[in-house]
């Protein structure tokens, strides 16, 4: 896939996630694209994998294209960016999870950001059950 195809696929996957859940998260987009399996995601959440990038099935260039496409498309759609803490699952003390091998704070923030519809549009979807985002 070339960069443009990766970006288009990422935007389509983000749209499907928004319709299904009412928000967009990068892990959901990656799973929707088939770049991250549910099993690998759960292994990461249980701290069996040091960082999420180790189990994502694409190169860093494609991954960067996915991140940027989702961010840019969400900004164009006036969606609200909301940082979300990803903490480990399982027994013992819950610990913050790491997304990237480098641990770069900007990259970690990009992975952990969820995108929400503006409040007025979220309220409108509740008022109109036929809207796609009420699933």
Tell me the pLDDT tens digit for each residue of 54-66: 999 999 999 999 9
pLDDT of residue 124: 46
Q: What is the pTM of this model?
A: 0.85
pLDDT of residue 126: 44
pLDDT of residue 118: 83
Low-confidence residues of the chain, pLDDT below 50?
123-135
Task: Write a three-state SS string for the chain.
Answer: CCHHHHHHHHHHHHHHHHHHHCEEEHHHHHHHCCCCCHHHHHHHHCCCCCCHHHCCCCCHHHHHHHHHHHHHHHHHCCCEEEECCCECCCCCCCCECCCCCCCCHHHHHHHHEEEECCHHHHHHHHHCCCCHHHC
């Amino acid at each position: 896939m070339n960069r443009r195809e990766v970006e288009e696929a990422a935007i389509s996957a983000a749209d499907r996630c928004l319709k299904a859940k009412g928000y967009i998260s990068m892990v959901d987009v990656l799973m929707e694209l088939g770049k991250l399996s549910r099993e690998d995601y759960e292994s990461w959440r249980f701290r069996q994998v040091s960082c999420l990038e180790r189990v994502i099935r694409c190169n860093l260039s494609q991954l960067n294209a996915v991140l940027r496409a989702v961010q840019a498309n969400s900004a164009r759609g006036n969606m609200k960016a909301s940082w979300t803490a990803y903490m480990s699952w399982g027994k013992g003390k819950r610990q913050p999870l790491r997304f990237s091998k480098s641990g770069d704070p900007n990259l970690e923030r990009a992975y952990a950001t969820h995108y929400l519809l503006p409040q007025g549009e979220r309220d409108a979807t509740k008022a109109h059950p036929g809207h796609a985002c009420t699933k």
